[in-house]
Amino acid sequence: MLYDSKTRICKQLLESLLFERILPFTEMIVGMKNRFTFHIKDSEVIVEGKRGPFDRIRLDITTLRSSKSSGVNDSFEHLLTQLPIPDDFQEELRRTHDFDDLSQRHRLRIHRAGLDYEELEQTIIEGHPYHPCYKSRIGFSRADHEAYGPEAGNRFQLHWIALPSTLVQGNGILPIPLILGEPLLHMFLVKLEELKQTDYQILPVHPWQWLRIKQEVAQVGGVDLGEGGVFVQATQSIRTVFCPGQPELPHIKLPLDLKQTSAVRTFSVPNVVAAPAVSDWLKKQASELPMTLLSEFASCVGSNGPLAGRVGCVFRENVLTYVHNGEQVIPLTALAQIEVDGRHFLGPWLERYGHERWLRRFFVVYLEPVIRLVTEKGIGLEAHAQNTLLVLRDGWPERIILRDFHDSVEFVTELLDDPSDVPDFKRLHPDFDAPLNTYYEMSHPLALRELLYDTLFVYHLTELAYQLELTENLNEATFFDWMHQTIEGLPIDRDRLERIGWYEQRVTAEALLAPRFGLTNQIDVKNSLVQQGEEDDHAMD
């Protein structure tokens, strides 16, 4: 079946609106399928589908029928104009269609499993498998999309500015000489000296962002130093860039006034200031667990005034420094992908090792360290697809590498192995003097289960299970049976799992779209890790 972005957007939009109870609907079981019926303005809409693990709704969008339209392409416009969705959300959906269509020229005609890490950062172009605004990029023009999106693999230089030190805050030693080169850095320093600007901080700026902050930089007495340094390329996250072919150089995360998947991608000032301290703490806590953490070893951010959170940088260790000869590293975003030949991305390795053997090994490698960090140390990480990398040897899972911690760590003091080791966040930034659940510290152990379930299962491994059912005839229930059995066999403290509510029959999941509609950001779903008996078929079809 040929790829069609309108079809995909309609599918993900309706699935999310129904799953998060944003759109009232009725559900009937008709034969082997579920029939969903809902009303929009003066139209009745019927579509068939099914319920998957964690109550996820999967629609057969080809069955979509409305009393006012026929066919999916016609339904795209009909749904966008008739559904009760805000105008700005409509714009995000339309831009997603535009940019997704534009991206298809870069879709590879080969199976991507043989590509290396840097190639995969460019060629995994699909975007978020659940959020319907997976490529909205509000603020980008079509030219910006080609210049700064990962799909085209374009390389560019960063812009550089100098700001008064009173306007920035950070920690760690910024590796600016490595990115700029000593000769250019010397030129910048000479220029600042000639301007009698000595108490200044030199910072990189994404060239797209520079055009949006140049006036504010001048207003606060900043100095425009121009473009220069090594050439960089966007990763899948767009705002993090890397230096192709130079594994010794770090990745650089930069703020952008860009809205992607309904969130503006600027920086949270206190989180960026705390980044190196968070990394040091996490690496110590996870030192005996079978995973690698990529340190965010230096950071700096505009801390006040019109540039607060809109300029800054986080320098992160390059994943390739932890990859050995004969190893391959893949972002877990690859796990939700079906290749142009109709096979799953993992197809060659599943065929080689067998579905059950490979998946059970993957569950051990991926889930054990993340769950044990919670049960043994009281710390939760957002180990979702974009933050997690899988290291393979001959296609066999060896270990995981995790990244991007400064705004995605949670802990509960009563569960900590050593509370005295926690960084003094209030000393790092005054905003950390805030109520629990605002930044890193949570008020209840259940928060850690919610973090794990959302990022590991509800919005992540459910996608892998669904795609394997479509491409490999592996029943989703079988997938989660194997996962449940694997987790039960891991060396994990069961009392701690009970304490975070791991075995509850129903769990709370985060609603990703509902807050846009003025609704609660939580939904109640069945816990498919403990309700395996309710599934009908536990075998390969």
Task: Assign 303 to helix, strand or coil.
Answer: coil
Rounded distance between C-alpha atoms, residue 535 and residue 541, angstroms: 14
Predicted local confidence at residue 2, as pLDDT? 74
Question: What tokens appear for 465 in the block?
Answer: 């299970």
Rounded distance between C-alpha atoms, residue 421 and residue 127, angstroms: 37
Alpha-helix runs per DSSP H in 343-461: 347-353, 355-377, 425-428, 446-452
Threshold 0.75, pTM exceeds: yes
| Averaged pLDDT in 10-residue chunks for the chain of 541 residues | 88 98 96 94 92 97 81 74 92 97 93 96 97 97 97 97 98 98 97 92 98 98 98 97 97 98 96 98 97 98 97 98 97 94 96 98 98 98 96 98 96 96 97 97 97 97 98 96 96 96 96 94 95 40 36
Cα end-to-end distance, the chain, whole Å: 22
Residues in the chain: 541
DSSP string, 460-479: IIHHHHHHHHHHH---HHHH
Residue with tokens 């306007």: 167
Predicted local confidence at residue 535, as pLDDT? 39
> 169 near 432, Cβ under 8 Å?
no
Predicted local confidence at residue 70, as pLDDT? 54
User: Pairing relation of β-strands 409-411 and 379-381?
Assistant: antiparallel
Rounded distance between C-alpha atoms, residue 439 and residue 434, angstroms: 8
Rounded distance between C-alpha atoms, residue 259 and residue 224, angstroms: 25
Predicted local confidence at residue 42, as pLDDT? 78
Question: What tokens appear for 442 in the block?
Answer: 């949570």
Predicted local confidence at residue 3, as pLDDT? 87
- The domains of the chain, with CATH numbers, are 5-123 (3.30.310.280), 145-319 (no CATH), 324-534 (1.10.510.40)
Predicted local confidence at residue 78, as pLDDT? 85
Predicted local confidence at residue 538, as pLDDT? 31
Counts for the chain of helices (H) and strands (E), in that order: 16, 22
